[in-house]
Structure 1
Amino acid sequence: MTPIRTMLLASAMTLVMPGTALAAADRCDRPVAVCTNPTPAAFRLLAGGRGAQVVVDAGADTAVKDAAQGFTGDLARVGGASAGVVRTSLATGAPAVVIGVLGQSPLIGGLVKAGRIRATDIAGRWEAYRQIVVDRPFPGVPQALIIVGADRRGAVFGTYDLSERIGVSPWSWWADVPVAHRSDLWIAKGDRTDAPRVRYRGIFINDEEPAFGTWARTHFGGINAKMYAHVFDLILRLKGNYLWPAMWGKSIAADDPASMPLADAKGLVLGTSHHEPMTRAQSEWHRAPTPGQTSAWDRQGNRIASPSGAAKDAVIGGKWDYLTNAQNLRAFWRGGIERMMTAGSRGQPMEQLVTVGMRGDGDEPMSEGTATHLLERIVADQRTIIADVTGRPASATPQVWALYKEVQDYYDQGMKVPDDVTLLFSDDNWGQIRRLPTGDRDRSGGYGIYYHFDYVGGPRSYKWLANTQVQKTWQQLDLAYRRGVKQLWVVNVGDVKPMEMPIDFFMKMAWNPDAMTPEALAAYPETWGRALFGPAHGGQIGRIADDYARLAARRKPELVDADSFPLGGLSADRLDGGEFGRMVAAWTALEQRMLAMRDRLRPDQRDAYLQLVEHPVAAMANLYRLYYAVAWNRRLAAADDPRANGFADQAEAAFRRDRDLTEAYHHAHDGKWDGMMLQTKFGYTSWSDPKTDQMPQVKRVSRADGRPTASIGAAAAPASSPTAPTGHYAVAEAGAFVRARGRADLGWRVIPHLGRTDGAIISYPQGRPATTTADGVRADYAMTLKQAGDATLRLYMVPALDTNGGKGLRIGVSIDGAPVQILTMNLKVDGPEWTRAVKDNAFPLEAKFPSLAAGTHRIAIWRIDDNMAVQRLLLFTGAIPPSYLGPDAP
């Protein structure tokens, strides 16, 4: 067991996160706990497989009715009975689950008036709910479980919270997670309340071709309301409330007029992405007014020529340029707000968070030289439209302005933003937040963050498999929350699948960042596994999934090729795999653990396991083996070594195996996910993904008869020669400090698996101002050099950006009490150092120490700036490449 894991094991094992109650279902000492055995005064939810009656008021909101119906179905799935109907009147003599909204439910209102339910503490709170067991609540009703929401979504979340705690995973449809059967369930006496800490919490379906789009067209006939119904349900069951819908060539409003009313009926808040202002999908700008006709994309998501071969900026709406085409743009935007006012399902306007501002057409930068005052004018004009159409002050309509890429630069240069508009900061598309509030934390619009689990752009697009560590997501979002970002969290999830685990984590943390402590984070993978696969194997499955994410995050799969990692030495009788070989060995070992676990699962768990664990592990292991074989093939072929031919065979076999793995995924669960695994991953030569997977070129040397064999695959350069360190070195994991010192309010915390090694340390709590060495927040290490000489201390940092917009992030180092040297990590997005950092998921900082004696030395690292996570320390003499992580790397 690793040192870092040992340090947090005791606290992690005892933590139970919300929504995983059946793993501890017999613990009925908590109010409203789900129990498999009766306790005094407990409410009988399931009796002999049949659920209690579920009751809503006849005039209840559609979202409440929909959630109640979903819960009735969940009871039936758990109990094994046929689904009942939601009642609008109470049947006497039987227990009841009553669901309603405070102030809108006569049934619940009567209990509040009679003092049977306390309501003042949730009244007016955004999406708050109370669950409470009440004895003899109504004439002839012996007992009831009351779920009361402060608003309609509060009632929905209180209902689906219970669904999850009785064993119906939010991923039961989206990942085919089976529901464990229980004939009898009780709800412990008492009451509990909950409410979100982040106001808007949601996902962005993006870069959704060819996978998500093909899947939706295959199974639903398009990106339509039938498909979106499942998306809406997933978000609500995850206690989210917000969606940026699929957008490339698509419009949730225009493609199927039923989609927006359905979202409204279920309680979803719709938005549009960072570059789609005023509720209008970008593709609508390029569509002809004739129903069904488009100019830039067809309804299957394929790019087609503009009318008469016109250029992209000369299509139906004219040029996407406010300086030359403002009148058409204002008319276009007005149409979006008018539609918002009429598309609701309840005789009210749609509940939308309106994106304002403007980027270039197709998510491109604005024209060069765009002045900040033009963007200010655009937003002012948009707010005039909002006020005019709604008949209310613009501030009465929630709005968000995304400070994405160059728009953040305008903000940093002084661009004025109305106080009621939410400022949406962004990461660098690779998981490092670019900017956070430094001033007014109390502005009425608040702040948001736009994060990425998927991206199309440099250094290379990554869309195929999940490769984001929950530990990294936690570190960045915890930092944002501590800095006052509490209005909106939205994450780009690509095709939804296969991002299930990071999405699940993001939404749980968004509900309550305060509850996602470092201890809860350490426990999360195992908690996640138990919630999906049960207590018998779930903990081990969670650890496999966590190890997968750690290995995948070392280098995103689209960035892996034959030159990614150095090979070792080459001799007539031995091939040293080097770092590349160690990477392959790590993936092979994980694959063996994954396969051994698969054989221990029940048949009904196999489909979920394939989607969530088996396929990503097997596919990534196969990708590494393919490129490892290509690397050796090219190196050996360059030396005219016949062993190259065996590696060519291995590479070609791995390429074929990838197709087999894809087909197995597409055939799972009777073909339910056919089309969802179509993103390309082989053959990248630039940031842009190839249209189809390309077999890398392999070469064959002469056969025994002396005849040459042609090369196969796409052309490529030979693999790079091995790179080996010289001199002597000592390695220390950042979490293996001898002693950590801090203040009462600030110290060091170990975050297992953060980064690419065993874990990292951060100063905690996050979000605190800079300190000096006089504050004494330091961690000490003992490192031994076997040879004296001029030495270098290298810190391998988890990549991060200066969210204050300053000159970089600082950390101090010293040896044996000598003066502290200050090191600075100042990564500039899209610059060469940033590119190296995001490729390697590490960035080296170095300090020189001349004439260091042989022997053991006391190394200290000193906290200066926040947001500096140290993964590993390397003390060495001689020369060691910046990418080298130590003898046991990776």
Structure 2
Amino acid sequence: MMRFWLIFMYMFLPVMCWGQIIVKETGGMTAFPLVSSHKAVIYYDVRDYGVVEKTACLLAEDIKRVTNKKVPVSSKKVSAEYAVVVGTVGHNAFIDRLVAEGQLDVSAIRGGWEQFVVKTIDDPAKGVKKVLVIAGCDRRGTAYGVFTLSEAIGVSPLYWWADVPTKRKSQLYIENINYVSQAPSVQYRGIFINDEGWGITPWAGKTFDKELGDIGPKTYAKVCELILRMKGNMLAPAMHPSSGAFNKYPENKLVADSYGIIMSSSHCEPLLFNNVTEWDKKTMGEWNYITNKGGINKILDRRVSENAPYENIYTIAMRGIHDAGLVGVPKDKEVSLVEEVIADQRDILKKHIDSSLDSIPQIFVPYKEVLDIYERGLRLPEDIMLVWPDDNFGYIKRLNNKEERNRKGGSGVYYHISYLGEPHDYLWLNTTPPALMFEEMRKAYDTGAKRYWLLNVGDIKPGELGMKTFLDMAWDIDKFNFDNINNHQVDFLVSVFGEKYREDIDDIMNSYYHLGFQHKPEAMGWGYEWNNEYAQERMTDTDFSFANYNEAEGRMQEYDRISDKSEKTWNTLPESYKAAFYELVFYPVKGAALMNKKMLTAHQNRWYARQGRTATNYLADRAKAYHDSIDYYTGIYNSLLNGKWNHMMALAPGWTATYQKMPPVMTIDVPQKAEMRVFLPGQDSPLGKTTLNVLPCINPYTRKESFIELYNVGKQSFTWNAKVSDSWIKLSRQSGTTLLQERIIVSVDWMKVPVGERVTGEIEVISGDRQEKIYLPVFNPAYPTVGELRGWYVEDNGCVSINPGKYHRKVENEDIKMKVIKGLGYENQCIQLGEATKPVQNPRRSKKAAKVEYDFYTFNAGSVTVYTYALPVFPVNSERSTCFGLMIDDGLLKYASNNAKEYSGEWRENVYRNSTINAVTLNIDKPGKHTLKLICSDPGMIIQKVVIDMGGMKRSYLGPETTIVR
């Protein structure tokens, strides 16, 4: 019961953090000279934990990285004039004496979890002028204190894993300090190395640890150091057939323990047993609990016996081999069988661990089919942690209801930024927006899931930034909010590369995550994977439109822009910083840009081929060039720093993805004779041509430009001339010679255009005997004026497109607060209709209902379809739904929701595009001013875009651009 009480108390520990460690290159008489003309010595006590000695030595190495000066490390009696004493309360004689004498107050951390005190003390003992004490309440608390000092002097947690250089300093002085750390927000915080066969395993086996040829103690030492420096405390090791099981190499356990790292395991490894490679069917029988219960429990008994001396978190229950469901169990027997499995496994734990069951950390992960078993009435012992998984794409499937929040064992989350599985793998790059991760993890924390957070980080690289964000949130969730989450990675990168790069880095990272959220680079082949076992993706045309809303080409242009900016930044950096920038920024951005351009260019090539364009074959070559460039830049990554990361960055992860391959392209026979053709925006027929050449209507409210694309269907170039019917029509060019194709930008001189709702001009393009007449419709009514509608949304070409983050009014109550979330969604800005933990609302309360309102103006009336693009979040718990209301003016209330079940076709489409698109029919009674209302029902719904279709919406992926009057 005492252990239960401590766990319960931990879940509600107050946050404490007093003071900060200030390091300077010069110091006055009161500062502690860590490195100066005086020689500081680092002391630890041999009675202390092994990780304390290790981190004391690592601190000395960190000091040398900064100053190039070696600081002695000693376990002898503290005697130096200036001493750094590193130790755990109750395990370091010098620290315990300071406490007993009242010179060091540890009352704020005593009995705590992973907390520490850093304090300077004058004249603490005979012959010692000043001491810098780093005292932990436990072994990891001490280690975190040490690495907090390391960061303060300028050593990044990613100094080795991302080659972040340290800035050289000749001296280091620590200002007088009395720093008391907080209790971590989350008790168990760590990573899962997964799908390792295409990155970390070949790198470890062929580059870093050739002697072993596998992920082993040498690699895990680096992994554990990284986790500890990032203030994590837990590791679920690699477990696929491509690597040796963690327990295959006995030294692995010793390495993890030497860094104070708690070993956990994935959802399909009961009691730390990896049945993928450790279960031998020939000698052990079937992995079937009905027919081979004794054989399974015998091996699990052995595993717990081997690992019991170390700190572990045990996965409870059972699935099939690898990531499969139970085998040979009738559905009506699954619940009772899993209950039997759990009871037997807990008996094994009691047998080998000299503690009460409620003090042995155990997790139950309702992953995939296990959630269904749990929700059919599985009786789970109260002391087991419930670990809620996301749907593998960043959306947590469900969290605690009221009853589950009161469980003694607490709960946690298993989250992904890398995944192998349906509907599509994403193992290559990390494009999970920090704002999405924070939204989901904060929601989890607020519903009580604060005891265990595990991040599936793939191969670690290139997910370092995502890993850092996750573990930093787990350490101190209250440091984060929607206003600063997007600065977190930027601030870190700026701390590495310099303040002068802030604007560029912020721009690059903001756009990188925005584009990646719209559609992941790995999925740009636009096919599905895993429709059946190992079903490969079949690449096809994307849904990004080349005909409407400048969608596909605008995407490529934006990738070009940030890719060029990233490259320019990389070129200006000092040589010692280039590797880190390449790994953390340049390669992910360049790789994503090239992958998008490869797939979109191939799509455009196939479209052009159907039109017979001369540029068809050129685009086939461009697609191949982009394909080859990805290989080229990947090769550079693997050759950085004399091949330090060789074999780490693989372009062909997974069995079923095809994005690493060259997409299908077409070549055509082009006739010699030139001939001009015309393409206009909106000509979305298979051949890109309609019977009448009409440009999209231009109005003074959105003031969008248009274009006429002249293209060739012959090898020779053609000359052309253009003329306009009216002086108010402006063309960017009026004549030229074209070999492939070019665009004439069309705009309007609003000082000259006549007033009228049906103004039409004509543009005639002539090349030889060919004449093309293009009509330009202009909607320029006398009323309302642009000034009267400025800031309103407006009907434009039959649509009103709304960015929900830019609302006109909000109505809130004591529970529901509307929150704009930047850095998330199709428009890179969303609206959250209240926090998910708040009570369900009644949208029918009309004027008192919590809502956001958007003013818009239409020139037509009648029945309209309102499309809402919502984040595909799940109900926050089993007692909730995902409804929100829509209303125009005071008209009919309609509901929309995210009701897709995991692995349904709708869910596949939703996670593929990071959006649930709902359509409801509402009515606009007359032309003029109106208000759209998004009304809270189930709090936590996040809306990323709204389109009111009045009959003009075109085929596209993202929908029309925002139609706001500027």
- The count of corresponding residues between Structure 1 and Structure 2 is 807
In structure 2, relative to structure 1, the CA distance for the partners of 1:131 and 1:520 (3 Å cut) is farther
1:461 aligns with 2:425: yes
Gaps of 5+ in 2: 1-15, 526-539, 674-684, 697-795
Structure 2 residue identity aligned to 1:463 = L
Bigger Rg over Cα = 2
1:81 counterpart (52, 60, 69): 69
SS at match of 2:572: coil
| Whole-angstrom CA distance in 1 between matches of 2:908 and 2:645 | 34
| Whole-angstrom CA distance in 2 between matches of 1:735 and 1:484 | 28
Shift of 1:650: 0.7
Moved more, 140-149 or 503-512: 140-149
Q: How far does the alpha carbon of each residue in 1:429-455 deviate from its partner, in whole angstroms, 9 at most, with x for none?
A: 001100101023232211011111111
The equivalent residue for 2:162 is: 175
SS at match of 1:886: coil
1:325 aligns with 2:266: no
1:787 aligns with 2:860: yes
| Whole-angstrom CA distance in 2 between matches of 1:500 and 1:851 | 50
| Whole-angstrom CA distance in 2 between matches of 1:51 and 1:71 | 15
The equivalent residue for 1:559 is: 523
The equivalent residue for 1:47 is: 36
Q: Which structure 2 residues correspond to residues 118-129 of structure 1 after superposition, within 5 A?
A: 118-129=105-116
Shift of 1:819: 5.0
- Residue pair 1:424, 1:450 contacting (<8 A) in 2 also: yes
- Residue pair 2:834, 2:940 contacting (<8 A) in 1 also: no
The equivalent residue for 2:949 is: 876
SS at match of 1:121: coil
2:351 counterpart (385, 388, 401): 388
The equivalent residue for 1:834 is: 907
- Residue pair 1:429, 1:451 contacting (<8 A) in 2 also: yes
Q: Which structure 2 residues correspond to residues 135-146 of structure 1 after superposition, within 5 A?
A: 135-146=122-133
The equivalent residue for 2:805 is: 735
The equivalent residue for 1:305 is: none
Shift of 1:563: 1.7
Q: How far does the alpha carbon of each residue in 1:669-697 deviate from its partner, in whole angstroms, 9 at most, with x for none?
A: 1111110111427xx9xx8235x932122
| Whole-angstrom CA distance in 2 between matches of 1:38 and 1:765 | 48
SS at match of 1:69: helix
Q: How far does the alpha carbon of each residue in 1:360-398 deviate from its partner, in whole angstroms, 9 at most, with x for none?
A: 112111236252010000010111111122244433321
SS at match of 1:630: helix
1:198 aligns with 2:186: yes
SS at match of 2:805: coil
| Whole-angstrom CA distance in 1 between matches of 2:657 and 2:118 | 49
TM-score (structure 2 length as normaliser)? 0.80
2:85 counterpart (86, 98, 112): 98
Shift of 1:230: 0.4
SS at match of 1:65: helix
1:134 counterpart (99, 102, 121): 121
2:829 counterpart (734, 737, 759): 759
In structure 2, relative to structure 1, the CA distance for the partners of 1:284 and 1:392 (3 Å cut) is farther
- Residue pair 1:635, 1:719 contacting (<8 A) in 2 also: yes
The equivalent residue for 2:532 is: none
- Residue pair 1:527, 1:539 contacting (<8 A) in 2 also: no
The equivalent residue for 1:405 is: 368
SS at match of 2:500: coil
Shift of 1:600: 2.2
In structure 2, relative to structure 1, the CA distance for the partners of 1:577 and 1:76 (3 Å cut) is same
Shift of 1:765: 4.6
Q: RMSD value over aligned CA atoms?
A: 2.7
| Whole-angstrom CA distance in 2 between matches of 1:444 and 1:807 | 23
1:362 counterpart (305, 319, 322): 322
Shift of 1:30: 4.6
1:699 aligns with 2:642: no
Structure 1 residue identity aligned to 2:151 = E
The equivalent residue for 2:628 is: 656
Moved more, 444-453 or 536-545: 536-545
- Residue pair 1:435, 1:802 contacting (<8 A) in 2 also: yes
| Whole-angstrom CA distance in 2 between matches of 1:315 and 1:648 | 52
Shift of 1:616: 0.8
The equivalent residue for 2:817 is: 747
The equivalent residue for 2:312 is: 352
| Whole-angstrom CA distance in 1 between matches of 2:311 and 2:114 | 14
Q: Which structure 2 residues correspond to residues 836-875 of structure 1 after superposition, within 5 A?
A: 836-875=909-948
| Whole-angstrom CA distance in 2 between matches of 1:851 and 1:781 | 14
Moved more, 230-239 or 439-448: 439-448
- Residue pair 1:73, 1:84 contacting (<8 A) in 2 also: no
- Residue pair 1:446, 1:487 contacting (<8 A) in 2 also: yes
Q: How far does the alpha carbon of each residue in 1:732-782 deviate from its partner, in whole angstroms, 9 at most, with x for none?
A: 222211222323454112221112322112245542221224463222222
- Residue pair 1:800, 1:827 contacting (<8 A) in 2 also: no
SS at match of 2:392: coil
1:480 counterpart (444, 459, 466): 444
- Residue pair 2:836, 2:938 contacting (<8 A) in 1 also: no
SS at match of 1:209: helix
Q: How far does the alpha carbon of each residue in 1:119-168 deviate from its partner, in whole angstroms, 9 at most, with x for none?
A: 22211111111112222222222222211111000001111112112211
The equivalent residue for 2:775 is: none
In structure 2, relative to structure 1, the CA distance for the partners of 1:357 and 1:63 (3 Å cut) is same
- Residue pair 2:395, 2:873 contacting (<8 A) in 1 also: yes
In structure 2, relative to structure 1, the CA distance for the partners of 1:809 and 1:135 (3 Å cut) is same
2:411 counterpart (432, 447, 451): 447
Structure 2 residue identity aligned to 1:688 = T
| Whole-angstrom CA distance in 1 between matches of 2:387 and 2:689 | 45
Gaps of 5+ in 1: 1-17, 20-28, 288-313, 342-348, 570-575, 707-717
1:153 aligns with 2:153: no
Moved more, 70-79 or 246-255: 246-255
The equivalent residue for 2:273 is: 280
**Percent identity (aligned):** 29
In structure 2, relative to structure 1, the CA distance for the partners of 1:887 and 1:597 (3 Å cut) is same
SS at match of 1:324: coil
Structure 1 residue identity aligned to 2:259 = K
SS at match of 1:641: coil
The equivalent residue for 2:546 is: 568
Q: Which structure 2 residues correspond to residues 207-222 of structure 1 after superposition, within 5 A?
A: 207-218=195-206, 219-221=208-210, 222=214
Shift of 1:284: 4.2
Q: How far does the alpha carbon of each residue in 1:647-672 deviate from its partner, in whole angstroms, 9 at most, with x for none?
A: 11111111111111111111111111
SS at match of 2:499: coil
The equivalent residue for 2:870 is: 797
Structure 1 residue identity aligned to 2:274 = A
- Residue pair 1:791, 1:852 contacting (<8 A) in 2 also: no
Q: How far does the alpha carbon of each residue in 1:329-348 deviate from its partner, in whole angstroms, 9 at most, with x for none?
A: 0101001101013xxxxxxx
| Whole-angstrom CA distance in 2 between matches of 1:143 and 1:442 | 48
1:689 aligns with 2:654: no
Moved more, 494-503 or 191-200: 191-200
1:515 counterpart (473, 479, 494): 479
1:425 aligns with 2:388: yes
| Whole-angstrom CA distance in 2 between matches of 1:183 and 1:675 | 37
Shift of 1:787: 2.6
1:267 aligns with 2:231: no
Structure 2 residue identity aligned to 1:482 = D
In structure 2, relative to structure 1, the CA distance for the partners of 1:165 and 1:534 (3 Å cut) is farther
- Residue pair 2:544, 2:957 contacting (<8 A) in 1 also: no
Structure 1 residue identity aligned to 2:367 = Y
The equivalent residue for 1:34 is: 23
Shift of 1:534: 2.9
SS at match of 2:923: strand
In structure 2, relative to structure 1, the CA distance for the partners of 1:217 and 1:853 (3 Å cut) is same
Q: How far does the alpha carbon of each residue in 1:216-270 deviate from its partner, in whole angstroms, 9 at most, with x for none?
A: 1012122110111100000000000000101112444443221111111110000
